[in-house]
Amino acid sequence: MSVLSMDIGGTSIKTGLFDSQGTLLSTSETDTEAYKGVDSLINKLCGIISSHKALHAVGISTSGQVDARTGRIVFATEAFPGYTGTPLRQILKERTGLPVAVDNDVNSAAIGEAFFGAGRNYNDFICLTYGTGIGGAIVIGKEIYRGADGIAGEFGHMVTHANGKPCVCGKRGCYEMYGSTRALTENVRKATGKQMDGREIFMYFNQPKIREIIDSWIDEVVWGLVSLSHIFNPPCFILGGGILNETYVFDQIRLKLKRNVIPSFKNSIVKPAQKGNNAGIYGAYWNARQLLNPGSDM
């Protein structure tokens, strides 16, 4: 049995081929070219699928809000013209004749971590990914908690600053305007005039001005986690995103979270995501695998 898994991001589509044991046999990557429109994107996906022989199912992890029950794209930004409203699962099913599972990228990554990564030993955890924005997922009993409209877990849009900076969502003061990696790089750019990515910023870690910006950004990250800790009291937080590879960031988050929650909440474990950029294809594999063998434990 083999399953093809695809993770559709703003810049690239990552593809993974899995065997029945959940072993990732091979990966490849191609440009999304989402600007060419939805028909071109679907042709590209079908092309990738048809270049693999003897598939049993396809799993898709994608940018945008997804109704995972129907596999329809509920909402996508203007980076994906025409994608909003696309019944992706139905189209791919009709064109390939294969069972297809579709979920959004953050939920797929959380499922990937739940069964193959940092969440293996936890039934319940809260997952956050720090990048351009802040993605979130709530895992309860090894399943995504989806909410009334299938879109729960938008932690990036918790308000951490009343009447704060305007956010891409149209509201103000959202967590991701302060705690995302982009917020850090923006703060550094404003202070130094230099555009640096997260890794470059840490090359100047010993400069007091940079250090101060990093420390106040970590405080912003922690404020969001403090609220989530008080709401969920989760056994575990799993945090992903390239910036968290910096040991200093991770250690400070752990320390400051413990220091800032009500003492009875300090037992939550904070773990780094383990599957990195592959978490999405692992989760999409798992979702597709469930279509063939529901409830299977591999």
Backbone angles phi, psi at 239, to 5 degrees: -115, 130
Does position 157 interact with Zn ion (CB under 5 A)? The reply is yes
| Single-letter code of the amino acid located at 22 | G
Do residues 287 and 14 lie in contact, with contact meaning Cβ atoms separated by under 8 Å?
Answer: no
Contact range with Zn ion by CB under 5 A, out of 39-47, 106-114, 134-142, 154-162: 154-162
Q: Which is nearer to Zn ion, 225 or 279 (CB)?
A: 225
Q: Which is nearer to Zn ion, 231 or 262 (CB)?
A: 231
Cα 227-69-102 angle, rounded to 5 deg = 85
Do residues 246 and 202 lie in contact, with contact meaning Cβ atoms separated by under 8 Å?
Answer: yes
Q: Which is nearer to Zn ion, 180 or 268 (CB)?
A: 180
Does position 134 interact with Zn ion (CB under 5 A)? The reply is no
Question: x/- contact string, 171-210, with Zn ion (CB under 5 A)?
Answer: x--x------------------------------------
- Shortest distance in whole angstroms from residue 54 CB to Zn ion: 44
Does position 44 interact with Zn ion (CB under 5 A)? The reply is no
Q: Which of 57, 167, 238, 279 binds Zn ion (CB under 5 A)?
A: 167
Q: Which is nearer to Zn ion, 71 or 224 (CB)?
A: 224
Contact range with Zn ion by CB under 5 A, out of 63-71, 163-171, 182-190, 215-223: 163-171
Contact range with Zn ion by CB under 5 A, out of 108-116, 165-173, 268-276, 279-287: 165-173
- Shortest distance in whole angstroms from residue 168 CB to Zn ion: 6
CA dist 268 and 83 (Å) reads 38
Any idea of the CA torsion for 207, 209, 211, 212, to the nearest 10 degrees?
160
- Shortest distance in whole angstroms from residue 128 CB to Zn ion: 15
Q: Residue 251 to residues 74, 105, 122: CA-CA distances in angstroms?
A: 37, 26, 21
Give contact residues for Zn ion (rule: CB under 5 A). Answer: 157, 167, 169, 171, 174
